[in-house]
Amino acid sequence: MRIFSGVQPTGRKHIGNYIGAFEQYVAGQALGEAIYCVVDLHATTVAYDPATLRRDLYDLVAVLLAAGIEPERSILFRQSDVAEHTELQWLLMSATAYGELTRMTQFKDKSAQQEFISAGIFAYPVLMAADILLYQTGQVPVGDDQRQHLELTRDVAQRFNSRFGETFVVPEGTYPEVGARIMDLQNPERKMSTTGGSPQGTVYVTDDPEVIRRKFRGAVTDSGREIRHGADKPGVSNLLEILAAVRRSSIAALEQEFEGSGYGDLKLAVGEAVAAHLAPVRERYALLRADEQGLEQTLAAGAQRARAIASETMRAVRAAMGVGPAGPDER
Ligand code: TYM
């Protein structure tokens, strides 16, 4: 079974990415052939600075390796190193409806923040579908905010298969049981995010342990005193989700443990648990990040392996669509 996921090299990665996605990536390595892609082409669809993009990309690759992605076991590569991604994106555009893309909530949210709305940001979900379908992916570990993109990918694959013949595996999204949508600590009605989040409410993977504890101490909680998970308690629910994810325990067990405790106790406990959880990651990160050449070598080796799979899929796609010369068995 093949597992594929992608992550944008923009800004610093936070515990939403870590809990929602990266921990699933690491676990995925034991379940099948895992392929992880740093999607730099996606990052060019909004206003950005080229030098910062490259720096952020190395930061991200070092975080992924520090989190436990093993490049000998999995394929870790940079999207722009494998040209098949953009070729497949173009071909899939014809199997994607304009109306579908206009309904994407991430397109609506992200384009509202831009002065210049690029055609790239509109076509973004098609590049994401290409990323996934290129590798005949069975499972896509992602956070909750990618659900709609995953559904679109499935629809495009099914439409392509019925129009041109069985070509793509139709992938399934997989979402973590707890922590699929980590919220901003200062504004628990909004997801934690690289763009548009509050600085004190966003906990970065490479934050100093003391900074992590401080951000949790300052987390916004709710009215009342009871520590329980529920729609009327977004702040407390978010803290419980984070603690359940890092301790690998259930929300119910935590509700029992914290019965009678105050919000302050919960905030301290979560801050401590997250700081301890991320401390070794931060140490490994510092070592890995210092060796950019080593990171490039890892990416180059990953790209070579990715290309071998991607080019095979593209042969089938071109043949199915009648693009390029006929293959030996079609003449
Ligand atoms: P990106 O780079 O925004 O986020 C990477 C992963 O982190 C998850 N995530 C979260 N999970 C829980 N709580 C949060 N607050 C939170 N914020 C982010 C995301 O769900 C994601 O899994 N379009 C994708 C990148 C992409 C991709 C792909 C993903 C491109 N091609 C192919 C899967 C397969 C994105 O922008 O993720």
pLDDT at 327: 72
Residue 172: in which H helix or E strand, if any?
Answer: strand 172-174
Q: How confident is the model over 203-262, as pLDDT tens digits? A: 999 999 999 999 999 999 999 999 999 999 999 999 999 999 999 999 999 999 999 999
283 alpha carbon – ligand 1 mean position (Å) = 24
Predicted TM-score (pTM) of the model is 0.97
Task: Please report the atom of ligand 1 found closest to the CA of residue 4.
Answer: 34
The separation between CA 109 and the C-alpha centre of its own chain, rounded to angstroms, equals 17
Mutate to test the pocket of ligand 1, among 3, 13, 14, 17 (most ligand atoms within 8 A of CB): 17
- Residue 171 scores a pLDDT above 70: yes
CA–CA distance, 279 with 224 (Å, rounded to integer): 33
Q: Residue 329 pLDDT > 80, yes or no?
A: no
3-state class (DSSP) for residue 145: helix
78 lines ligand 1 (CB under 6 A): no
Instruction: Report pLDDT for 195.
Output: 81
User: Ligand 1 in contact with 192 (CB < 6 A)?
Assistant: yes
Range in 76-80, 109-113, 267-271 the model is least confident about: 109-113
Which domains are delineated in the chain?
Answer: 2-174+292-321 (3.40.50.620), 199-287 (1.10.240.10)
In the reported structure, the alpha carbon of residue 253 is separated from the centroid of ligand 1 by a whole-number distance in angstroms of 28
- Tens of pLDDT, residues 44-64: 999 999 999 999 999 999 999
Query: Is the shortest distance between the CB of 104 and ligand 1 below 6 Å?
Result: no
**166 CA from centroid of ligand 1 (Å):** 28
Does ligand 1 have an atom closer than 6 angstroms to the CB of 85?
no
Q: What is the mean pLDDT of the chain?
A: 96
pLDDT(331) > 70? no
Burial, 301: exposed, middle or buried (Cβ in 10 Å; 0-12, 13-18, 19+)? middle
Does the beta carbon of 150 sit less than 6 angstroms from any atom of ligand 1?
A: no
Ligand 1 centroid to Cα of residue 25, in Å, is: 12
**Which ligand 1 atom is the nearest neighbour of the CA of 8?**
2
